[in-house]
Amino acid sequence: MGNELEHIYQKYLSKKQNDIHYIGESSGVIKLRDIFKTLVPFEHPDAYAMLDNEVLIFEHFEFDSSNNNKKKGSQQRRSEAEDNRTFATLKPSGNGTLHHGEIFADYSIENYKKNLKQAFHKHYSEIAAYKQTLREKGVITGTERITTLFFIEDTTVLGNIVEPEYSDRALEPLVLLFCDFFLDLFECSPDLDMVVCASWFPNEYCLWYMDQTMILEYRKHEIDTSKVKIVNLNPQSIGVKLIIPDERLFERNESV
């Protein structure tokens, strides 16, 4: 999990513009800063933090809005892997070998909801086992308050944008914490205390925080996902392999 924490820090917490957004009282977000500073990498759960007389369980998982096959996994992830394999076969040159690919996936609000629920239930069902493992390792001794945080990463390439005809804004990102089905899910999950959702919106990564005390505030801005469609984008990838004069190899492949 050490590399996974490093991934989260570098991707979402290393830049000033990646502020943590929230609606309601700020004490939870202030506490969140202390949590990220003290996280200890682990395996099951992904990490934990010790704050005064509290042990916080930290679990990270990903989902996207493409079709997800139980045996083969995310359609988007499979297409990205195929694109990366193609890029890996290219031979570098002095003038640069260019690569242009596409990420083939069917994005929909139905997939978004189904994939999130599937991943959520899988990790939520493990909370009792996480606590037991930490007891066996002596992290939980019996006197501490135990809390749980899910870091949920929406990895949909280019993010999820609401179709203009279903929004008052030209480009409105779909933020998980405002979705009706997720608010219902979170409210009915007493063993989960707080969530952070990370997603991409045109120019930056966005982080949103919510704990159980904030649900009513988020309800005021609730999105009825039965009346929403998301833009089915067609992400492209651009890459280059280049041999520079001292014969070092430079290569990079990114989705855009």
C-alpha–C-alpha distance, residues 179 and 112, integer Å: 11
Q: What is the pLDDT of residues 8-27, one digit of tens each?
A: 888 888 766 568 999 998 89
Answer yes or no: is 101 within a domain.
Answer: no
Answer yes or no: is 240 within a domain.
Answer: no
Contact criterion met (CB below 8 Å) for 239 and 102? no
Name the least confident of 96-100, 151-155, 188-192, 224-228.
96-100
Answer yes or no: is 86 within a domain.
Answer: no
Report helix, strand or coil for 6.
Answer: helix
Structurally, the chain folds into a number of domains equal to 1
Instruction: Identify the residue with better confidence: 165 or 133.
Output: 133
**So what's the pLDDT on residue 2?**
64
Domain of 156 in residue numbering reads as: 2-79+108-231
The reported pTM is 0.86
Q: Looking at beta carbons, which pairs linking 87-95 to residues 24 or more positions away fall under 8 Å?
A: 87/237, 87/239, 87/241, 87/251, 87/253, 90/239, 90/241, 91/241, 92/241, 92/242, 92/243, 92/249, 92/250, 92/251, 93/241, 93/242, 93/243, 94/242, 94/243, 95/242
Answer yes or no: is 244 within a domain.
Answer: no
Answer yes or no: is 247 within a domain.
Answer: no
**So what's the pLDDT on residue 120?**
98
Answer yes or no: is 33 within a domain.
Answer: yes
Contact criterion met (CB below 8 Å) for 106 and 75? yes
Tokens of 168: 């008052």
Answer yes or no: is 208 within a domain.
Answer: yes
Name the least confident of 103-107, 132-136, 227-231.
103-107
Answer yes or no: is 112 within a domain.
Answer: yes
